[in-house]
């Protein structure tokens, strides 16, 4: 972990949760896992303060904690959640886009609370005042988090309280659970990965238990058992999944007596042993919500960062498709992504999926069929209008038939011209292409097979199904693009035509694209040319580089030096003899995309840190005015209490803050691409 | 005997004279032998058996042949070579042979090596190593050869600092000049830029559909076109497309079945048809330009690298850069970013770039 990331995390925590928490958080980041006494020693705080700070951190899932057998609890910083604080605004926005206003409010409340029981959440809306619990963390965080949302979403809709019914709260929660933006929290969420493994190791019986032939097999079986256990903890056991599936899917089904036993079990699982944050009340009053399939009040919910990352990735991909192809294609792509989103739990879950090399295994990935898409996407003129006409004119039927005749005619003539002429490339070339493409990379094979099929003249579908045809055309465009946006799986006797996305190569290609974009804007076009050349050709010596890039040797050298100095490209020296004489040494330049990615990522973190620091600097400049403006008696009556200058300063400060936070959002997009997606 | 020699174009008067009279004197015999050999391609190498098979010499023995060839070699008309340890000969043109006669011994050696290097030229250091001459001797020889206008000094693209010589009557090969992109051994950047600009426009026109600016209403009225009309329309269409287009926001993708994306061969043909370049461009050279455009991120290879397609949006066009979070922030372009530390000389508080950026 670099200093920049930890600085960033500390700053984010400090911004939202204040000095005390961030101080503890900083020491946890600096010194690794610490117990409460150790924390007291390092931070110089009183036990009370440390406990108070830790309770906030635990509530917000900003620290992992683990109680070992020796009965001392140790705490560890959770940088993932800390970093994701910066995305809070985007989460709310996404929830609003997909599930409406009220879902956005719920998500923002859940963000405020960190993790919460359903009962507490319901109570937070003021619907169930009988079950009052005090949640200190929520109170602590309420004022400061406003800086993120600008206080708009929360207060506005809270004032509309009378519209909210208990049933609608539960429905929204269910909806959020179904989409996956919110997940059921359990103990494992509060432990770091390593601790989870240790725990799983304790639960799973020792190797001797597995009666395999050899010791190694035993170990292997135990390993899979541990992995299963971890999986269970993360996504719930199968029984639990079955149990909650109907609730989540919104089918009417009450928790009856036969299931109450399981629910009890689940409840126990959900309660952390030391009970810091969760009150261990079991009083459930589901009968109140007659007729609705309410969620158990004791379920603990938390934000599912993984799923939000998936949603953010989809957003980024759609924007990229728009940039690379066109608007309506990206709309269709968004539809595909939305369909696939439900089956994608996290951006990088495929780590356990073995390397997919060939077509048949693509079938294991979640897919969406053409028919599904045709049903979802509205028929509109736009689909056809945004595609070029092969003939280059308004494309009536007669024109489409012409090329064939013309081609024949051209073949009789000297075909020199025919090649220069746009669409009249000779047939044999086309066939030749599809043949040879079979041998190419794996993903190409299917497309090549498709080639013959979707050539315009031999399209099997009748003209009345133009809607489908246009959708297919857009999808094929995506599949054929140099960024492998989609993988096309042709129709089989059993399965219809399907589309899927294989993310690793896609993301690799996008990361490369983004890196090059940064290099272009920073160092200029020739620098990008050199970098692309190096990434394509591998290691190249200066002389070859010069002749390949068609650049002046002098200017090329200056570009190389700048790139090298900033760590974008590397230089390798190979002495030709033992003397290591520079005259007799080969110098090879090369581009290491991974190294470059890490470098840029670090720079992005650092930039974010600087932005956050600058926000504070700017804030300090107008400190007095800000303090005055945030006085309770001034809020709402600014006109009365603040002078013209003060109001101007405030306005300016607001703009500056907005600008910097906007910038932070965009920087976060970059981090998403380079790190998470 | 001399019948075959008659087919000789007869550049040499000596030879034609020798043919008519019956070859008897040694000199005449030599002339006949030379003329016979001169009918072969210039770089043909004769071995002993081949020369004997001409049956020019009366006795046709090896001894006799060697006398004659020795003489011819001395005259500079034959060049003695060896192949597989056996002697063989090459014919030298009379004009060249005459040159040798005027040269001193050193000059002749130097000249012979320069001549052997043909269109590639020879580096002066290499020449010295091969000839084993002293520096000053060689320089004198070279100077004298240059003043006689027998050789010239050229510049090679790969090693611009090396002094390289070749025969003055030859044109340097493409390896030496670097092809059409170089003038006098210096990269012609403007030429490269203009050519790639033209190619890019050509490919844009072929890989994106540009909605027509004026809707041809006439075409709709008569649904049945005659053959001529259709051809004419098409020709107009094509001519419009071949000239290429600039990038625009209005560009729309062609359907996936479209296969008009140009290949290397097509681009080469179009470039040569445009007659932009004074010389005919070869596929490899156009390929070099296409590679560069790809590396610039303006084109992309599709169909396994066989065809080229223009990228839809490109940075730096019309001044609009494609920005992202990092490059547009002050830190992303900060020249002192590396020394920016919390308590360092540059930090978030003292940053001037931030100030400028916030006041934008």
Separation of alpha carbons A494 and A262, rounded Å: 39
How far away is chain B from the Cα of A421, in angstroms, using its nearest Cα? 6
DSSP string, A491-531: --SSS--EEE--HHHHHHHHHHHHHHHHHHHHH-HHHHHHH
Spell out which residues of chain B touch residue A4, defining contact as CB-CB under 8 Å: none
Q: Kindly report the number of other CB atoms within 10 A of residue B22's CB atom.
A: 10
More confident residue, A207 or B72: B72
Cross-chain residue pair A422–B206, CB shorter than 8 Å: yes
Range from A377-381, B22-26, B273-277 that averages highest in pLDDT: B273-277
Spell out which residues of chain B touch residue A511, defining contact as CB-CB under 8 Å: none
What is the pLDDT averaged over residues A504-513?
Answer: 89
What DSSP designation does B85 have?
A: T
What is the pLDDT averaged over residues A223-230?
Answer: 82
Compare all CA atoms of chain A with the CA of B346 and give the residue at the minimum distance. Answer: A610
B344 touches A at CB < 8 Å: no
B140 touches A at CB < 8 Å: no
State the number of CA atoms in the 13 A half-sphere of B301 facing the CB: 11
Buried b (16+ CB within 10 A) or exposed e, A347-360: beebeeeeebeebe
Separation of alpha carbons A418 and A431, rounded Å: 17
List of residues 6+ apart from B271 with CB closer than 8 A: B195, B198, B199, B277, B281, B286
B358 touches A at CB < 8 Å: yes
DSSP string, A178-239: HHTSEEE--GGGGS-HHHHHHHHHHHSPPGGGS--SSHHHHHHHHHHHHHHHHHHHHH--HH
Terminal CA-to-CA distance of chain A, rounded, Å? 19
Buried b (16+ CB within 10 A) or exposed e, B302-329: ebeebbbbbbbebbbeeeeebebbbbeb
Cross-chain residue pair B331–A324, CB shorter than 8 Å: no
Compare all CA atoms of chain B with the CA of A620 and give the residue at the minimum distance. Answer: B349
What is the pLDDT averaged over residues B326-335?
Answer: 82
Among A550, A659, A667, the residue with its CB nearest the CB of B292 is A550
What is the pLDDT averaged over residues B289-304?
Answer: 85
Q: Kindly report the number of other CB atoms within 10 A of residue B125's CB atom.
A: 11
Residue pair B215/B221 in contact by the 8 Å Cβ criterion = no
Spell out which residues of chain B touch residue A528, defining contact as CB-CB under 8 Å: 295-297
Residue A361's pLDDT band (cuts 50, 70, 90): low
Q: Pick the range with the lowest mean pLDDT from A595-599, B89-93, B133-137, B230-234.
A: B230-234
Residue A449's pLDDT band (cuts 50, 70, 90): very low
What is the pLDDT averaged over residues A513-529?
Answer: 88
Separation of alpha carbons B125 and B132, rounded Å: 10
pLDDT at A460: 44
pLDDT at A531: 92
Compare all CA atoms of chain A with the CA of B267 and give the residue at the minimum distance. Answer: A420
What is the pLDDT averaged over residues B83-109?
Answer: 80
Spell out which residues of chain A touch residue B348, defining contact as CB-CB under 8 Å: 609-610, 613-614, 617
Residue pair A343/A372 in contact by the 8 Å Cβ criterion = no
Residue pair B272/B264 in contact by the 8 Å Cβ criterion = no
What is the four-CA torsion angle of A652, A654, A660, A666, rounded to 10 degrees? -130
What is the pLDDT averaged over residues A316-329?
Answer: 85
pLDDT at B43: 74
| Spatial strand order in the sheet of A367-369 | A367-369, A498-500, A487-489
Separation of alpha carbons A303 and A86, rounded Å: 14
Separation of alpha carbons A384 and A396, rounded Å: 13
Q: Pick the range with the lowest mean pLDDT from A179-188, A193-202, A413-422, B321-330.
A: A413-422
Residues in chain A: 677
Residues of chain B numbered 307-336 and touching chain A (CB < 8 Å): 311-313, 315-316, 321-329, 331-333
More confident residue, B23 or A541: A541
pLDDT above 50: residue A144? no
Q: Give A63-108 pLDDT, tens digit per residue.
A: 888 887 777 888 888 888 889 888 988 999 888 888 888 888 888 8
Compare all CA atoms of chain A with the CA of B266 and give the residue at the minimum distance. Answer: A420
Residue A360's pLDDT band (cuts 50, 70, 90): very low
Cross-chain residue pair B295–A533, CB shorter than 8 Å: yes
Spell out which residues of chain A touch residue B215, defining contact as CB-CB under 8 Å: 394
Output the CA torsion sign for A523, A529, A533, A535. positive
How far away is chain A from the Cα of B277, in angstroms, using its nearest Cα? 17
What is the pLDDT averaged over residues A462-478?
Answer: 74
Spell out which residues of chain A touch residue B192, defining contact as CB-CB under 8 Å: 550
Q: Counting Cβ atoms within 10 Å, is residue A617 exposed (0-12), middle (13-18) or buried (19+)?
A: middle
What is the pLDDT averaged over residues A193-211?
Answer: 77
pLDDT at B104: 83
Spell out which residues of chain A touch residue B208, defining contact as CB-CB under 8 Å: 388
Look up tokens 């005015």; give the residue: A625
Structure-block tokens of residue A386:
């945004």
Q: Give A279-311 pLDDT, tens digit per residue.
A: 333 333 333 333 445 677 778 888 888 888 888
| Spatial strand order in the sheet of A540-541 | A540-541, A585-591, A569-575
pLDDT above 50: residue A395? no
Spell out which residues of chain A touch residue B259, defining contact as CB-CB under 8 Å: 423, 425, 430
Structure-block tokens of residue A589:
């330049």
Structure-block tokens of residue A677:
């997606």
Residues of chain B numbered 237-276 and touching chain A (CB < 8 Å): 237-238, 241-242, 252-260, 263, 265-266, 269-270, 273
Range from A354-363, A502-511, B58-67, B348-357 that averages highest in pLDDT: A502-511
Range from A272-276, A363-367, B133-137 that averages highest in pLDDT: B133-137
pLDDT at A387: 72
Residue pair A507/B122 in contact by the 8 Å Cβ criterion = no
**ipTM > 0.85, yes or no:** no
pLDDT above 80: residue B213? no
Q: In whole numbers, what is the pLDDT of chain B averaged over residues?
A: 76
pLDDT at A162: 45
Query: Which residue segments constitute the domains of chain B, with CATH numbers given?
Result: 4-93 (1.10.10.10), 103-177 (1.10.10.10), 187-211+229-310 (1.10.10), 325-358 (no CATH)
pLDDT above 80: residue A417? no
């Amino acid at each position: 972990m670099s200093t920049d990331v930890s600085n960033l995390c500390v700053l984010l925590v400090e911004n939202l949760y204040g000095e005390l928490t961030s101080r503890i958080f900083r020491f946890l980041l600096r010194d690794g896992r610490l117990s409460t006494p150790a924390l007291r020693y390092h931070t110089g705080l009183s036990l009370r303060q440390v406990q108070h700070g830790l309770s906030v951190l635990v509530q917000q899932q900003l620290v992992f904690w683990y109680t070992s057998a020796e009965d001392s609890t140790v705490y560890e910083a959770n940088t993932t959640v800390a970093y994701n604080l910066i995305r809070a605004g985007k989460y709310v926005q996404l929830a609003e886009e997909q599930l409406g206003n009220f879902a956005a409010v719920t998500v923002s409340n859940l963000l405020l609370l960190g993790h919460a029981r359903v009962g507490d959440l319901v109570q937070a809306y003021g619907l169930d005042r009988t079950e009052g619990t005090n949640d200190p963390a929520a109170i602590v965080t309420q004022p400061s988090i406003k800086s993120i949302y600008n206080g708009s979403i929360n207060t506005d809709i809270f004032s509309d309280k009378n519209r909210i019914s208990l049933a609608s709260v539960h429905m929204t929660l269910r909806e959020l659970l179904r989409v996956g933006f919110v997940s059921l929290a359990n103990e494992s969420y509060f432990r770091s990965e390593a601790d989870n493994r240790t725990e799983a190791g304790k639960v799973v019986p020792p190797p001797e238990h597995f009666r395999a032939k050899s010791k190694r097999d035993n170990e292997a079986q135990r390993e899979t058992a541990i992995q299963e256990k971890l999986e269970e903890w993360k996504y719930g056991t199968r029984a639990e999944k079955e149990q909650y599936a109907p609730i989540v899917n919104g089918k009417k089904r009450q928790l009856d007596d036969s299931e109450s036993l399981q629910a009890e079990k689940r409840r126990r699982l959900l309660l952390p042993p030391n009970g810091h944050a969760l009150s261990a009340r079991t009083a459930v009053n589901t009968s109140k919500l007659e007729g609705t399939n309410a969620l158990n009040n004791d379920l603990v919910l938390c934000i599912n960062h993984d799923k939000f990352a998936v949603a953010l990735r989809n957003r980024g991909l759609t924007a990229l498709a728009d940039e690379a192809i066109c608007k309506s294609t990206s709309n269709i792509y968004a539809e595909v992504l939305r369909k696939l989103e439900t089956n994608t739990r996290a951006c990088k879950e495929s780590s356990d999926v073995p390397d997919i090399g060939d077509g048949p295994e693509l079938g294991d990935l979640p897919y969406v069929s053409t028919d599904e898409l045709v049903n979802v996407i509205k028929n509109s003129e736009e689909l056809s209008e945004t595609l070029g006409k092969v003939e280059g004119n308004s494309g009536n039927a007669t024109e489409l038939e012409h090329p064939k005749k013309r081609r024949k005619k051209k073949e009789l003539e000297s075909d020199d011209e025919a090649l220069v002429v746009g669409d009249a490339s000779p047939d044999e070339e086309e066939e030749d292409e599809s043949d040879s493409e079979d041998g190419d990379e794996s993903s190409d094979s299917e497309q090549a097979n498709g080639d013959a099929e979707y050539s315009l003249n031999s399209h099997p579908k009748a003209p009345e199904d133009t809607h489908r045809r246009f959708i297919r055309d857009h999808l094929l465009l995506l599949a054929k693009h140099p960024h492998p946006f989609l993988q096309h799986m042709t129709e089989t006797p059993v399965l219809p035509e399907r589309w899927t996305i294989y993310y690793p190569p896609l993301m690799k290609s996008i990361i490369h694209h983004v890196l090059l974009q940064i290099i272009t804007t920073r160092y200029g076009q020739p620098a990008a040319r050199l970098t692309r050349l190096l990434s394509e050709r591998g290691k190249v010596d200066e002389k070859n580089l010069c002749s390949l890039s068609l650049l002046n040797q002098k200017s090329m050298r200056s570009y190389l030096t700048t790139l090298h100095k900033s760590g974008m490209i590397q230089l390798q020296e190979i002495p030709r003899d033992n003397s290591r004489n520079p005259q007799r040494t080969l110098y090879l330049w090369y581009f290491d995309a991974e190294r470059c990615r890490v470098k840029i990522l670090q720079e992005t973190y650092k930039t974010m840190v600087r932005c956050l620091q600058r926000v504070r600097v700017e804030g300090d400049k107008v400190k007095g005015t800000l303090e005055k403006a945030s006085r309770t008696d001034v809020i709402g009556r600014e006109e009365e209490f603040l002078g013209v200058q003060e109001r101007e300063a405030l306005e300016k400060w607001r703009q500056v803050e907005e600008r910097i936070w906007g910038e932070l959002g965009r920087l976060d997009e970059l981090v998403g691409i380079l790190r998470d997606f | 005997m001399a019948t075959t020699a008659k087919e000789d174009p007869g550049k040499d008067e000596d030879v034609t004279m020798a043919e008519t009279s019956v070859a008897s004197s040694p000199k005449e015999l030599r002339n006949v032998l030379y003329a016979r050999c001169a009918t072969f391609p210039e770089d043909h190498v004769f071995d002993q058996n081949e020369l004997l098979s001409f049956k020019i010499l009366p006795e046709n023995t090896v001894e006799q042949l060697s006398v004659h060839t020795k003489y011819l070699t001395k005259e500079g008309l034959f060049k003695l070579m060896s192949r597989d340890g056996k002697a063989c000969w090459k014919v030298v043109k009379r004009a060249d042979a005459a040159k040798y006669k005027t040269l001193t011994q050193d000059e002749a050696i130097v000249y012979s090596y320069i001549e052997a290097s043909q269109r590639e030229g020879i580096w002066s250091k290499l020449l010295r190593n091969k000839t084993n001459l002293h520096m000053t001797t060689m320089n004198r020889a070279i100077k004298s050869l240059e003043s006689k206008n027998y050789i010239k000094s050229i510049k090679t693209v790969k090693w611009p600092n090396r002094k390289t010589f070749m025969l003055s009557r030859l044109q340097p090969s493409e390896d030496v000049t670097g092809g059409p992109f170089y003038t006098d051994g210096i990269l012609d950047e403007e030429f490269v830029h203009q050519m790639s600009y033209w190619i890019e426009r050509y490919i844009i026109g072929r890989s994106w559909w540009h909605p027509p600016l004026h809707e041809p209403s006439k075409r709709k009225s008569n649904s049945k076109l005659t053959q001529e009309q259709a051809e004419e329309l098409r020709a107009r269409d094509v001519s419009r497309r071949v000239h290429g287009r600039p990038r625009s926001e209005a560009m729309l993708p062609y359907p996936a079945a479209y296969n008009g994306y140009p290949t290397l061969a097509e681009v080469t043909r179009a470039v040569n048809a445009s007659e932009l370049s004074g010389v005919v461009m070869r596929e490899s050279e156009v390929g070099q330009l296409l590679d560069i455009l790809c590396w610039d991120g303006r084109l992309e290879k599709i169909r396994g690298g066989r065809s080229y397609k223009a990228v839809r949006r490109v940075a730096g066009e019309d001044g609009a850069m494609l920005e992202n979070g990092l490059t547009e922030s002050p830190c992303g372009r900060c020249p002192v970013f590396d020394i920016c530390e919390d308590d360092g000389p540059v930090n978030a508080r003292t940053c001037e770039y931030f100030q400028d950026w916030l006041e934008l």
